[in-house]
């Protein structure tokens, strides 16, 4: 499907550098050629298109905004744009890239030892090693400080016990960045552990029955007396600051990315409305109610694009704050979800089939609405910034 010129109504193209456009366009061509023809099948079958990983690595997508160790070293705008194109393909594929780069490679890059960086990052950038991020637990999502996973020091190893849930890439991961409380037991005792596939007592199983992110691997992790050597403990961070900084890093990319799903739904609905004839052969795009839906969708896409671009520029200037990221994640995911729902209506009954993109994106975005901080949590983050009062307690 050709891209609609109207989608860039405010000429944001003029605000991008040649390097940023090139990164975006390279991934856009990959999505058009390699992802869109097969992603519906994978979503229907509930399988992850792992054969695409080498292509992602070749384009520099994995750990794209990190420096050194074979990473592409892109700026935040380029990183956001390539995630937007992956999301235009499917949230499952973009989630894979987000977790690999922002949640696994980033903490090793930021908080790991030189030996850990050399051991893991080049292979992860090349897609030879897959990572996952173990923070959420069956009973603790929005309250990570309540985690029950524990690590107890025993000589030169740590003995890890507990469980993590809703872990993207979990069952295919070679290394899991697992956050656990240590002997002291409080939130400030949290440490990061690099748990490798095959360590005795470590297991991962896929979560069955998903209606969302079906083209993605979502797992539960179990740790039963897993002995993790000291060399696999992240040495440069303690407390919740570690995992929360990873989440903040990932949220910015997600806020930028979800506009890709919105664009896919809008442009598909526009093409469908122009082609669909009703009532004496008139295109449904010529009716007022359809035009209102298309206008509403475009309005929210342009607003999200502006918000994402400004936030990414602030990040590269060292001025972005967690509150800014919460605003962008909250606004853009909600807008993308509403656009997917509205686009589904334009297709009529055809919109509930996976022959067209809106229902797949809509189901995926229900998960994105919840993960990386629920919509409600980001609401309270903004509420505290506005009033100075903490509604979490």
Closest of 302, 171, 326 to residue 250, by C-alpha: 326
What's the rounded Cα separation, in Å, for the pair 25 and 9? 18
- Asked about 87 being catalytic, the answer comes back as no
What's the rounded Cα separation, in Å, for the pair 168 and 216? 7
What's the rounded Cα separation, in Å, for the pair 235 and 233? 6
Question: Looking at 20, 267, 300, 372, which residue is catalytic?
Answer: 372
Q: Residue 352 in contact with residue 344, Cβ under 8 Å?
A: yes
Number of other residues whose CB lies within 10 A of the CB of residue 138:
12
Pure H helices in 100-157? 106-111, 114-125
Distances (CA, A) of 165 to 65, 170, 221, 272: 27, 9, 6, 39
What's the rounded Cα separation, in Å, for the pair 306 and 195? 39
What's the rounded Cα separation, in Å, for the pair 330 and 12? 22
Q: Residue 82 in contact with residue 260, Cβ under 8 Å?
A: no
Task: Answer left, alpha or beta for residue 213, where phi above 0 means left and psi between -120 and 50 means alpha.
Answer: left
Q: Residue 234 in contact with residue 192, Cβ under 8 Å?
A: yes
Structure token pair of residue 194: 């690099």
Residues noted as catalytic: 372
């Amino acid at each position: 499907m050709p891209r609609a010129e109207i989608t860039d109504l405010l000429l944001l193209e003029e605000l991008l550098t040649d390097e940023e456009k090139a990164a975006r366009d390279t991934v856009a061509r990959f999505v058009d050629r390699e992802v869109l023809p097969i992603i519906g099948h994978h979503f229907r079958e509930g399988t992850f298109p792992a054969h695409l990983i080498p292509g992602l690595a070749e384009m520099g997508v994995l750990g794209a905004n990190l420096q050194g160790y074979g990473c592409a070293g892109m700026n935040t705008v380029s990183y956001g744009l390539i995630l937007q194109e992956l999301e235009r393909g499917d949230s499952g594929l973009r989630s894979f890239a987000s977790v690999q780069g922002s949640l696994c490679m980033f903490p090793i890059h930021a908080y790991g030892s030189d030996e850990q960086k050399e051991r893991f990052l080049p292979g992860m950038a090349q897609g030879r090693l897959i990572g996952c991020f173990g923070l959420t637990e069956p009973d603790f999502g929005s309250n990570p400080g309540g985690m029950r996973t524990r690590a107890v020091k025993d000589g030169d190893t740590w003995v890890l016990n507990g469980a993590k849930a809703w872990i993207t890439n979990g069952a295919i991961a070679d290394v899991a960045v697992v956050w656990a409380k240590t002997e002291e037991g409080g939130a400030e005792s949290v440490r990061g552990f690099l748990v490798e596939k095959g360590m005795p007592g470590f297991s991962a199983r896929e979560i069955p029955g998903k209606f969302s992110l079906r083209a993605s691997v979502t797992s539960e992790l179990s740790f039963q007396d897993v002995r993790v050597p000291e060399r696999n403990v992240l040495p440069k961070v303690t407390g919740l600051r570690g995992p929360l900084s990873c989440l903040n890093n990932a949220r910015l990319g997600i806020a930028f990315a979800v506009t890709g799903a919105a664009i896919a739904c809008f442009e598909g609905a526009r093409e469908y409305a122009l082609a669909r004839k009703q009532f004496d052969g008139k295109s449904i795009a010529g009716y007022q109610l359809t035009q209102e839906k298309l206008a509403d969708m475009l309005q929210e896409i342009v607003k999200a694009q502006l918000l994402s671009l400004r936030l990414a520029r602030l990040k590269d200037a060292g001025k972005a704050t967690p509150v800014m990221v919460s605003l962008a994640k909250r606004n853009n995911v909600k807008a993308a979800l509403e656009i997917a729902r509205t686009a589904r209506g334009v297709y009529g009954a055809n919109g509930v089939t996976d022959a067209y993109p809106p229902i797949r994106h809509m189901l995926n975005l229900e998960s994105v609405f919840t993960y990386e901080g629920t919509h409600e949590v980001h609401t309270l983050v903004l509420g505290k910034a506005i009033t100075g009062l903490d509604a979490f307690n």
